[in-house]
Structure 1
Amino acid sequence: AYFIRRSFSGNALYTAVFKEYVHSLLSRNTPLEYFVEGGRSRTGLLLPAKKGMLAMTIQSHLRGNSKPIAFIPTYFGYEKLLEGASYIKELGGQKKQAESLFGLLKSIQKIEKVFGMVHVNFGEPVFLDDLLKQNHAPEHVGLHEELPAAVKETVSAVAEDILENINKAVVINPVSLISLVLLNAPTHSLAERDVLQRLEQFRSFLKQNRYDARMQITGLSSHEIIQYAVKLKQIEFIEHDNERWVKVCETQDALLKYFSNNILHTFILAALVAHLLQAQLAEGNAEIDAAELKSQALQAYPELKKQFFLKWPEAELPAEIDRALAYFEAEQAVQLQEQRIYVTAADEHLKLLAAFADLYALNLKAA
């Protein structure tokens, strides 16, 4: 497969040869592994799917001689990037460096360093035959025929379901969680007591509003999370105003952004709700009708769903917004009375609302 890709990529011969290769694997019921995004995200957010391999797989299946196909979405969560320097160059616009023997030898020199863990979690399978039936796709398509519209719709549906199910299988690891806290704070630093409080609040939100049953959350305590990130040399302690503060280490800002973006989708809807409430405050209104808030959220949601591959159809959005509001009420940031939402005036509770609102305002265009 590597030889075919390197030798013929980009022309019709490559496409024909590779289609035959994929079909030969499927006809022998060989499991296939490929990265549906086509490459590494420069931001840590999921990328739109590259549909070429999916289309080849589905077309080969419709040619016949293969068993039913199930796609197994797989989430990989890292705590540190081995190729951190090259990643930062990519953020600056450089192309991703191709793998090489020299690069491998350089990486070996780093093996003795502490790089944390890699978290792997499997999402809900996507069954191809179910989607083919839903889209009324034909039962047979020649390997070199033009794909019918129903099959193209199935390819897109499979891609969307895979990406949504990868996000459902997210692992909230300690590095991603503390990165989310610190990178959305002014100067990327906070008093240690504030970091501990925010970690507890974010963890509480995740437990009360689990993004999905397959989601996993770190078992480390908030104190242990801080110590763990210090051990990985991603954050450090500093003295400020006679108090111990936690600060992102120099050169780590861009790298930690990758990890915080890995879990941003689990907070983004609540962040939108907080953003809308904060916008009301900015206009001098400390209250809003719940129906109006939901209407505003529904207007913003299609773009949000598209960017973050969120799992909720629009019909489920009002209930999810109610859950977010219930969390803010439990944290005393708002009060709910007769379909009216009142924002609490106390600074301590406003800080929590602002922390969530900033997740939306600072990250909506992260991709």
Structure 2
Amino acid sequence: MVVVVSTRLQEVYANWEARMEVRNTESTSNRFTLDGLRQAAQNFRRSRIQEKEEWRKLRDSSLYKIKESEPLPPRTKQKVSFLQYCCNSCTPTSRDSLVTAVREKQQLHPFGVNVLFVKPGPTLFSRIFKYISYVSSCKRFEYPMITQAILNDERLKDAITLTAWETVKNEGCSEEKAFAKAKARAKNILLNMESRCSDTLLKIVAWLVYKLLPCFIQSAVVLPSQIELLKKANDTGLPLVLLPLHRSHLDYIMISFLMVTNNIRNPLIAAGDNLKIPFFGWLLRGLGAFFIKRRIDPVAGRKDLLYRTILQTYVMENLRAGHNMEFFVEGGRTRTGKPCMPKNGILSVILDSYMDGTIEDALLIPISINYERLVDGNFVREQLGQPKKMETFTSAIKAMWSTFMGHYGIVKVDFCQPFSLREMVKTFQAQQNKFHLGSPSKRPLTYSMSNSSLYGTDVIVEEHRQLVNNIARHVVYDLSKSTPIMSTNLVAFLLLNRFRDGCTLDKLVEAFESIRLELEFNNMDVAFCGENVDIIKHALDILGPGLVMQQRQEITESVDGDQSYKSNVVTAIRPVSILPNVIELSYYSNTMLLYYIMDSIVVTALYAELQSQINDPVAIAENNITVLQVNLVNRALKLCDILRYEFIFCRPCQELEEIILETIYKFVHKGIISKQEKAYLDDELWSKRYAKNFDDSSDEEYQREREINDIKYKLSLSPEHSSQMEFLHTALRPLIDTYTCSAFNLMKLVGRSLCERDLVQEVLSEIKTNLDGNIVSCGESLCVDPIKNSFKLFEKWNVLECHMQENVKIFYLKEDYDKEVITKNVYDTIAAFKWTRNVN
């Protein structure tokens, strides 16, 4: 454009100059000469040629500079270090604290560093013995014993007195003998429980971790910015309460290792008394473990008040003494790869310590740990219904030996942002007060506390239980969103839910890249980097041939439709979908399910709502498959209620219905469904505008609610969208099948009662029968944990009744449901979500 304008200006100037020369000639000679005109034309042509040459040189020079200069970096989003921030609604002050000092370091190591690597020091000794030198230079801490302070506590004295009077009443012995017996038992409980943390032993074990872990772990990755955040939290002087998810026995070793090597006081760790085995029990006690009962059962029909009081006093006095605490909010290790529902016992004690003024405040730090391959084996035996084997010295040695012989890839540890216990308690208390004052806001799904928690309704009022439960569920939800995604999780998820019948390596790479980009765009913690094909090959190597089969196959194709053929060799990848291998593979897949759970819920609810239309040839031909928003939301809420013991769908401070609507809007944005706008005639629009002038607020609210209820969505029938929906629906199918079989077995329970173990075996037998008959398509449906969770659901629905008989759960149907017709209604409610779509 510039060239054209400039050329045009030159022409105008040349014409004007030529006319001026002609006029000058006329003025001097008063006549036109042919030589003058010819000279003017030559000058004009010469100037144009010169101008074109100058422009040509300028363009060539610019092209040369563009070619030789360095290319500008693409405008892509730079990866920053991952950090799961605390809730902005519940803990806004905590969200703005501590992170300011570490933001500068977030860009330095966005993928983390291997903490098993230590740089040699400047001295000769530190170069030869770098691990010993580094560990010995770590800060030394004292871990004082508080045994006598606990025995002198007034609450414990009162509990001893009550226990002694109960003994006198029940056994008829003398008061002195009963008091002596109660005191002796209290001291014995405390000695068996308490930790004997040793700084020297901690440093020895830290050195052993440096030496032994690289034998079977490729690297242990932690973000330096998160370690800096942990140090800043430690500098506040408040007790730190570490709340990790529990996947492996290596969890607490890794956390203690990181605390010691970063000069932070090691926490006291709540451990199950099943780990109190020869040598290893002593070792764990020296590393900070204090042993508690996995379940606090009634004693002679009454609560074990003495044990509970000692445990409560022990935790409180340690917090008062400045110790940090660590306990697994799930209770035990997850058997399915998904976080378990929280156990609230220890958290309730810590909350009591704050409420009664024992501590001013505490910083709660959720921690998520994930492994490319689980270090201490799998839980397949237990999921198939076999009893758990108790830990012994021999079994521990065998497990360690097999671990050293294995290859387990990468371990990733994520520390979430610390938040103030005091701030969260005040927020939830304010919400409870608002609810009691008659707030019109809807309440999210509420969940009953676990039967194995320390306290029951006879000890703590309902508001306190709900407060503890809300905090625990908030922590587990945040941890489920911060769990590092390993390459094995993503590969297993794709193989089980998209390529169950097998695929080529190219197809797997394409699907892997698509989900990886989506996860990175949503700022999820993707714990791998590099080329997709290399990551997949690494994951397949870690999973091994027992879980994934790889075969090289020769494919013959015709060339250009003639008689010549071309042979290509491709790698076919197929998951091992037979029992028991598929159950172990599903363990790794379930970690990814956490990120797609709401999408899967909405798609499954959509299938259940549209089952009368979605396979109808007439509706498909007319491309008119629609669903009302209100019906879809209600279906999704019902499915969330069914799976309430499998997942935590939202934070306690959020409305579940709003989360479902957000997911629906996301599907609209992706084009999977489209919102249908209602068309109005001109007269109808005029009537609506006219009537609006006379509507009061109540009519407006009614009209708004009516318009919301009339919102309708149309389903997209494109192959791309159908494939995506089927992928999301498949992810939940194993759980739906398990719950459906469990509900079917309720009809077999009419008029009889069964202990928990026998009832579980009957459901497992039903699932096996359905697997053989191809009624159930996924082998991972054969799993004990979802079956037990379904029993909890039926108890919550008041369908099942449970009572304890000699420490054994006995199940039977409630009187109103002890009829086959009524139990079939329960089955139909769940089976509606089992319906599948004919994708052909």
Q: Which bracket does the TM-score occupy, shorter chain normalised?
A: 0.7 to 0.9
2:107 corresponds to:
none
Aligned residue for 1:29, secondary structure, equals coil
Contact 2:605–2:639 at 8 Å: present in 1 too? Answer: no
Q: CA deviation at 1:268?
A: 1.6
1:191 corresponds to:
504
1:288 corresponds to:
626
Distance (Å, rounded) in 1 between the aligned partners of 2:501 and 2:351:
46
Contact 1:126–1:162 at 8 Å: present in 2 too? Answer: no
Distance (Å, rounded) in 1 between the aligned partners of 2:595 and 2:397:
37
TM-score normalized by the length of structure 1: 0.82
1:320 corresponds to:
663
In the alignment, is residue 12 of structure 1 matched against residue 341 of structure 2? no
Distance 1:324 1:202, change over 3 A: farther
1:273 corresponds to:
602
Distance 1:114 1:12, change over 3 A: same
Quick one: which amino acid aligns to residue 574 of structure 2? K
Q: CA deviation at 1:340?
A: 3.8
1:140 corresponds to:
none
Q: CA deviation at 1:166?
A: 0.8
1:92 corresponds to:
384
In the alignment, is residue 66 of structure 1 matched against residue 359 of structure 2? yes
Distance (Å, rounded) in 2 between the aligned partners of 1:217 and 1:303:
32
Structure 2: 5+ residue stretches without partners: 1-189, 194-271, 274-290, 297-303, 433-454, 556-569, 678-711, 740-780, 787-840
Q: Deviations over 1:297-329 (max 9, x none)?
A: 3443444565311225322431232124433x3
1:119 corresponds to:
412
Matches within 5 A, 1:192-271: 192-208=505-521, 210=522, 213=523, 215-216=525-526, 218-232=528-542, 233=544, 234-239=547-552, 242=555, 243-249=570-576, 252-271=581-600
Q: Deviations over 1:53-78 (max 9, x none)?
A: 11122122323231312322211212
Contact 2:503–2:573 at 8 Å: present in 1 too? Answer: yes
In the alignment, is residue 168 of structure 1 matched against residue 481 of structure 2? yes
Q: CA deviation at 1:198?
A: 2.4
1:26 corresponds to:
319
Distance (Å, rounded) in 2 between the aligned partners of 1:97 and 1:227:
34
Distance (Å, rounded) in 1 between the aligned partners of 2:373 and 2:353:
38
In the alignment, is residue 352 of structure 1 matched against residue 724 of structure 2? yes
Quick one: which amino acid aligns to residue 341 of structure 1? K
Aligned residue for 2:369, secondary structure, equals strand
Distance (Å, rounded) in 2 between the aligned partners of 1:288 and 1:148:
47
Distance (Å, rounded) in 2 between the aligned partners of 1:55 and 1:76:
24
Quick one: which amino acid aligns to residue 282 of structure 1? N
Contact 1:237–1:245 at 8 Å: present in 2 too? Answer: yes
Q: Deviations over 1:125-184 (max 9, x none)?
A: 4532234323269xxxxx9x9433332221111111111111121222110011111122
2:715 corresponds to:
342
Contact 2:520–2:526 at 8 Å: present in 1 too? Answer: no
Distance (Å, rounded) in 1 between the aligned partners of 2:359 and 2:486:
38
Distance (Å, rounded) in 2 between the aligned partners of 1:321 and 1:306:
23
Q: Deviations over 1:267-290 (max 9, x none)?
A: 122223333455532345453246
Q: CA RMSD in A?
A: 3.3
Contact 2:416–2:482 at 8 Å: present in 1 too? Answer: yes
1:150 corresponds to:
463
Q: CA deviation at 1:187?
A: 4.7
Q: CA deviation at 1:351?
A: 2.6
Contact 2:667–2:673 at 8 Å: present in 1 too? Answer: no
1:104 corresponds to:
396
2:79 corresponds to:
none
Distance (Å, rounded) in 2 between the aligned partners of 1:301 and 1:220:
37
Contact 1:182–1:189 at 8 Å: present in 2 too? Answer: yes
Distance 1:149 1:293, change over 3 A: closer
Distance 1:264 1:187, change over 3 A: closer
Contact 1:135–1:153 at 8 Å: present in 2 too? Answer: no
Q: Deviations over 1:81-139 (max 9, x none)?
A: 23325x221212234444433233222343142101122223344532234323269xx
1:308 corresponds to:
647
1:135 corresponds to:
429
Distance (Å, rounded) in 2 between the aligned partners of 1:63 and 1:319:
41
Distance 1:184 1:357, change over 3 A: same
Aligned residue for 1:38, secondary structure, equals coil
Quick one: which amino acid aligns to residue 344 of structure 1? L
**Is the deviation greater in 218-227 or in 158-167?**
218-227
Quick one: which amino acid aligns to residue 257 of structure 1? S
Q: CA deviation at 1:294?
A: 4.3
1:77 corresponds to:
370
Contact 1:124–1:165 at 8 Å: present in 2 too? Answer: no
Aligned residue for 2:368, secondary structure, equals strand
Distance 1:273 1:157, change over 3 A: closer
Distance (Å, rounded) in 2 between the aligned partners of 1:294 and 1:218:
36
Structure 1: 5+ residue stretches without partners: 138-142
Q: Number of aligned pairs?
A: 353
Aligned residue for 1:84, secondary structure, equals coil
Distance 1:237 1:36, change over 3 A: same
Quick one: which amino acid aligns to residue 269 of structure 1? M
Contact 1:188–1:247 at 8 Å: present in 2 too? Answer: yes
Contact 1:78–1:118 at 8 Å: present in 2 too? Answer: yes
Distance (Å, rounded) in 1 between the aligned partners of 2:355 and 2:674:
56
**Is the deviation greater in 40-49 or in 240-249?**
240-249
Aligned residue for 2:332, secondary structure, equals coil
Distance 1:81 1:186, change over 3 A: same
Distance 1:214 1:34, change over 3 A: farther
**Is the deviation greater in 164-173 or in 124-133?**
124-133
**Is the deviation greater in 278-287 or in 351-360?**
278-287
TM-score normalized by the length of structure 2: 0.38
